[in-house]
A and B are shown apart, each in its own frame.
Chain A
């Protein structure tokens, strides 16, 4: 039987978000909370394999109690079990502290009920760090592929998975042994419209709440603000890039246009970079 674990995060819908121009902070007021879209697509892929192979999908999230909404959404999509790791002491966690808590949690679930594949979204749309998935893989000692766009093969008997990974220039095809961890792009699967029985089950579902007081023992020094060495100095919106300058080759001729372009790059001190790209 297939057992997939999907880590999901609840995020503000950043398509609706504003940055306070004075403080540089995200204005979260009135912004709807959603399941991180990359996580949702990863979950859809896990559920697709569950439906194909038989088995189950467990979702895990770390966050405040209102993350229950996102766990329920995962159940609606077809997940079987939801664990919310939630405690005031976890507040203020950076990616290091978060990957510690998630790795401990997933490891505990794995020991109780062996996991074949751990799915993450490639990153969360509120932080864009893409660090927690790899952080968990390292802590758990799992092989990892990031930016997965497709699972070609998932063979439970031969204990192997073949994934396609998108890079800027080509697609890598990687085979790795199970259990493995994947961080996924949106292309990996479409989010299906959930059947009514799943929706109804999700509306009644209360996830398991794991806290500092149990069932796991977390190291106080590694969670929340204490476990987070990251310091945010400043946040702000980058200035809008200025419109580029156009050199029209039809007017000045191609040779002249090229010459002018390199002269400008040289003047701007980026000639090496431009040439480096061409090498």
Chain B
């Protein structure tokens, strides 16, 4: 039943992920007729992360989010770093209480298949029109090149709107098609994250992680032996009755060393400090996803006439801080607000949509992205942070808290020796300085 009438909306969002549904929510709330196009059967069906999700961003879009019963797993009440050494050692640097005791929590463990579905439902409740099972393949352009609609993979699949927000995720084919970035994905700038979701009884998880109940949870970044000394970081998250455990390794590294993700993951799960935590867990899920870790330098131009880009498609990820979901939500919101402004002005030109980037510059996203612009390169050139220092930390603390009946002066010498044996002092000092520079953006 195809008609010749064009299908028109006030705005089109490509991708019902965290950025897309946030954008749709904001625009629908402002009264725009919004099409939210998702290629999966359901929102979240194609998405994957570690993971924990930060509430500050959700709250900015949806102040009463807790009353809408988000499908969170446990709150993050304990967070920090675990350093693994190759001889089975584990040093934990964890924090709990204080800010982590806030209610609602600053972050919650979640699974994307349920969370994204709920998030898109909130957009639908505001009036956004979700179109699933449909992939956007190209744009409809006006004579002046402005985007005025999208073409989908379905017969008679054209949709028209004066503004399109592209939240297509890491595989940003549409962003490339618009010429907002000049090249395809590069393995050097993509991390492949993979994980297992293991089912265990709630009480077992509580006991193994020292948690009083399911209203407490651990989120740990795991460094050291797990990634074979290669640039990569592991994670372990406690859900209600599952554990998400996995790691991210740069794609280029996996290719260069011919590593199979499941072998790396198996090795990680067999580490003497990790194995007892996951023992007996029933495998519910095994999956992986690319993470755009190219940072600031790999960000596309964020807007053009009639279109804006947000989330992973725009490389909005801060690898060190596990941030990405929050940036996606805030960027989606700001893009949505910009579309609303454009509608008020009746002007969807590049000049009007520039507001999107201006707003992002004032917030944390573009400031952080710029500050951390050297960080992924830093990890590439400083693999010692992945093996030397975690092992040293385990040795040093092991020595410090042991009594051998030796004078302490000798103990400190041994600790010092266990560092300089691995890395000369001047290089270690240099490493600390370059890490500081990479983080502070000097």
Contact = CB atoms under 8 A, between A and B. Distances in A.
Interface of A: 78, 80, 193-201, 203
A199 B1 CA distance: 10
Contacts of B2: 195, 197-198
B1 A196 contact: no
Interface in B106-159: 129-131, 133-134, 152-159
A48 B133 CA distance: 22
B3 interface: yes
B157 A196 contact: yes
Contacts of B429: none
B241 to A, nearest CB: 13
A67 to B, nearest CB: 17
B1 A78 contact: yes
B7 A200 contact: yes
26 contacts: A78-B1, A80-B1, A193-B153, A193-B155, A194-B154, A195-B2, A195-B154, A195-B155, A195-B156, A196-B131, A196-B152, A196-B154, A196-B155, A196-B158, A196-B159, A197-B1, A197-B2, A197-B3, A197-B7, A199-B131, A199-B133, A199-B154, A200-B7, A200-B131, A201-B1, A203-B131
A85 B159 CA distance: 34
A196 B7 contact: yes
Contacts of A193: 153-155
Contacts of B134: 196, 199
Interface string B1-13: 1110001000000
A65 B221 CA distance: 45
A-B pairs, 5 with minimum CB distance:
A195-B155, A196-B157, A195-B156, A196-B154, A196-B156
Contact of A198 (B1, B153, B158): B1
B155 to A, nearest CB: 4
A78 B158 CA distance: 18
A68 to B, nearest CB: 15
Given A195-B1, A196-B134, 14 more contacts: A193-B153, A194-B155, A195-B155, A196-B7, A196-B152, A196-B154, A196-B156, A196-B157, A196-B159, A197-B156, A199-B131, A199-B133, A199-B134, A203-B131
Interface residues of B, number: 17
A80 B1 CA distance: 9
Contacts, number: 40
B1 A203 contact: no
A193 B134 CA distance: 10
A194 B153 CA distance: 10
A101 B367 CA distance: 65
A201 B156 CA distance: 13
Contacts of A80: 1
A199 B2 CA distance: 11
A134 B381 CA distance: 73
A263 B155 CA distance: 62
Nearest to A192: B155
Contacts of B157: 195-196
B156 to A, nearest CB: 4
A253 to B, nearest CB: 51
Interface in B139-197: 152-159
Nearest to B35: A200
Contacts of B7: 196-197, 200
A152 to B, nearest CB: 26
A201 B1 CA distance: 10
A175 to B, nearest CB: 31
Nearest to A201: B1
A78 B2 CA distance: 10
B130 A203 contact: yes
Contacts of A194: 154-155
Nearest to A47: B1
Contacts of B158: 196
Nearest to B3: A197
B132 to A, nearest CB: 8
Contacts of A200: 7, 131
Nearest to A79: B1
Contacts of B1: 78, 80, 195, 197-198, 201
Contacts of A197: 1-3, 7, 156
Nearest to B5: A197
A154 to B, nearest CB: 20
Interface in B327-344: none
Contacts of A198: 1-2
A193 B157 CA distance: 11
Contacts of B133: 199
Q: Could you say which of A78, A196, A198 has the most chain B C-beta atoms within 10 Å of its C-beta?
A: A196
Nearest to B153: A193
A242 to B, nearest CB: 29
Interface in B70-120: none
Nearest to B42: A32
Contacts of A195: 1-2, 154-157
Nearest to A194: B154
A199 B129 CA distance: 12
Interface in B196-237: none
B413 to A, nearest CB: 59
A200 B131 CA distance: 7
A201 to B, nearest CB: 7
Nearest to A198: B1
Given A197-B2, A198-B1, A203 B129 contact: yes
A198 B131 CA distance: 11
Contacts of B152: 196
